[in-house]
Chain A
Amino acid sequence: MLSEFRMPALGADMEEGTVAQWNVAPGSRVKRGDVVAVVETDKGAIDVEIFEDGVVREIVVQPGVKVPVGAVIALVEREGEPATLAGAPPSPAAQRAKISPAARARARELGVDVESLQGTGPGGAITREDVERAARPATAPAAAKPVAEEKAGEGGMREAIAAAMSRSKREIPHYYLAEPVPMRRALDWLRDANAQRPVNERLLPAALLLKAVALALQDFPELNGVYEGGVFRASAAVHVGVAVSLRGGGLIAPALHDVADKPLDLVMRELADLVRRCRAGGLRSSELADPTVTVSNLGDQGVEAVFGVIYPPQVALVGFGGIAERPWVDKSGVVAMPALTATLCADHRVSDGHRGALFMARLRDQLQRPEAL
Chain B
Amino acid sequence: MNANQIRAGVVAAIQDVAPEVDAGDLVDERPLRDQVDLDSMDWLNVIIGFHERFGIQIPETDYARLGTLNDIVAYLGGRLP
Contact = CB atoms under 8 A, between A and B. Distances in A.
A300 B40 contact: yes
B40 A191 contact: no
Interface residues of B, number: 17
Contacts of A245: 39
Given A199-B48, A247-B18, A300 B39 contact: yes
A199 B20 contact: no
Nearest to B21: A247
Interface string B42-63: 0011011001000001111100
B41 interface: yes
A202 interface: yes
A313 B20 CA distance: 34
Interface string A176-198: 00000000000000010011001
Contacts of A248: 20
Task: Please classify the interface of chain A as helix (H, G, I), strand (E, B), loop, or mixed, using the class held by over half of its residues.
Answer: helix
Interface string B22-47: 00000000000000010111001101
B44 A204 contact: yes
Contacts of B58: 199
Nearest to A247: B20
B51 A200 contact: yes
B19 interface: yes
A247 B41 contact: no
B44 A202 contact: yes
Contact of A206 (B18, B20, B40, B60): B40
Contacts of A336: none
B3 to A, nearest CB: 23
Interface residues of A, number: 20
Contacts of B60: 191, 194-195, 202
A272 interface: yes
Nearest to B59: A195
Nearest to B37: A247
26 contacts: A191-B60, A194-B60, A195-B61, A198-B51, A198-B57, A199-B44, A199-B47, A199-B48, A199-B57, A199-B58, A200-B48, A200-B51, A202-B44, A204-B41, A205-B40, A206-B41, A245-B39, A247-B20, A248-B20, A271-B41, A272-B41, A276-B45, A299-B40, A300-B39, A300-B40, A301-B39
6 closest cross-chain pairs (CB), A and B: A300-B39, A199-B51, A200-B48, A300-B40, A275-B41, A204-B40
Interface of B: 18-20, 37, 39-41, 44-45, 47-48, 51, 57-61
Interface of A: 191, 194-195, 198-200, 202, 204-206, 245, 247-248, 271-272, 275-276, 299-301
